[in-house]
Structure 1
């Protein structure tokens, strides 16, 4: 993908994340460029991104001037995961509320199955503004696609930035389901997908990413 197209992709993802309610004034997203660098969105509320260019960040080394401190977690994940091509750092409201109680969404419906049996939880609300914290979160993420940060949002990784944004929306939808099930008084252990059911739903064929991505960028 040429440089202009990559910039356009990052801007679209930033706007989609902000305007769909997955992020407010804070948050950021990025797309891998190659084995040594990635492009992160402008340091501003993502929903307000217009034609502001993203910034190229080295996977290893100091952050460029003006890049937000928590972008270190992008560096740490890209360094450990050659399969990751895009990352979103957001603050979805339902997921945030559950996280304050140390709760992550269980796999209860189709699009919640992608995180079965549930995303990782980082049990620390402090910002990830140093290399050590970023590295520890990346290690805790492991081979997963999302790690919920207690009282501090979530980091979502995908093969592409489009997939990461879609997974971000899926996880917040799973959080809404989790919240509603608990509000209705059902036992938290009931109504979960079993391993076979979850595996059967973890498919990407049929334009799963493309259809949700097109919807997100139209919001």
Structure 2
């Protein structure tokens, strides 16, 4: 195994920014965590406390992709390990508690691609159909297998997992996922879900653009006002 890397100040700051942004946006409360890949064998996870309460300068913890979780790291960070292990394209993982996603998942449903922000989740958003906490490697491995090649997975009554090639992307997609769930719930509540068209794979591929600073602008919006925003030296 490669030597454990030392995260840069910028990497530590980025993890804190993402964590607090999730809290401010109502996408996480007392529970949840986010991480950033450091190299092929290690990632940096946020401090093990409510993400919105992580203070400026508080360091995260370096976790190996293979091996035991370091002391103090939350048990469900095993999910991050399994996802990083399977997919070299993943640069960040977010475990959050979006309210609309959770409501849908309790009915055994996940958001469908009905609007622009929902187009980013192809081929689909799988449902982990188990309300139990994931506190074992076997559970985390099975979840990662179900996750597949997509960007998000909903956990029945227990939040969501979103990945990206960066924390900027993963944070943005977590917000998009909740917005897709909002649309889904509103259409179903109004009795309009059946007549509302779904975007097919071609339409999703065309709409799910990365151009125009799509992800960067959402990052700026969600981190605005953070005490560490705009200060790369901190």
With normalisation by structure 1, the TM-score equals 0.96
- 1:122 paired with 2:128, answer yes
1:187 aligns with 2:193: yes
Q: Separation in 2 of the partners of 1:5 and 1:156? A: 22
Q: CA RMSD in A?
A: 1.4
Q: Which of 62, 66, 72 is 1:60 aligned to?
A: 66
Q: What are the residue-to-residue correspondences of 1:59-78 with 2, within 5 Å?
A: 59-78=65-84
Distance change (3 Å), C-alpha of 1:189 and 1:13: same
Asked if the contact 2:20–2:52 (Cα under 8 Å) also holds between the matched residues in 1, the reply is yes
Deviation at 1:161, TM superposition (A): 1.2
What is the alpha-carbon distance in structure 2 between the residues aligned to residue 189 and residue 43 of structure 1? Answer: 44
Aligned to 1:13: 18
Which blocks of at least 5 consecutive residues in structure 2 are unaligned? 1-5, 226-234
Given candidates 4, 25, 31, the residue that maps to 1:26 is 31
Structure 1 runs (4+) greater than 3 angstroms displaced: none
Deviations 1:134-162 (A, max 9, x none): 01111111111111111110010100111
Does structure 1 residue 104 correspond to structure 2 residue 110? yes
Aligned pairs, number: 219
- Give, in angstroms, the shift of residue 116 of structure 1: 3.8
Structure-2 change in CA distance of 1:18 and 1:188 (3 Å): farther
TM-score normalised to structure 2 length: 0.90
Q: Offset at 1:194?
A: 2.5
Provide the rounded CA distance (Å) in 1 between the counterparts of 2:193 and 2:164.
32
Cα separation, 2, equivalents of 1:189 and 1:123: 27
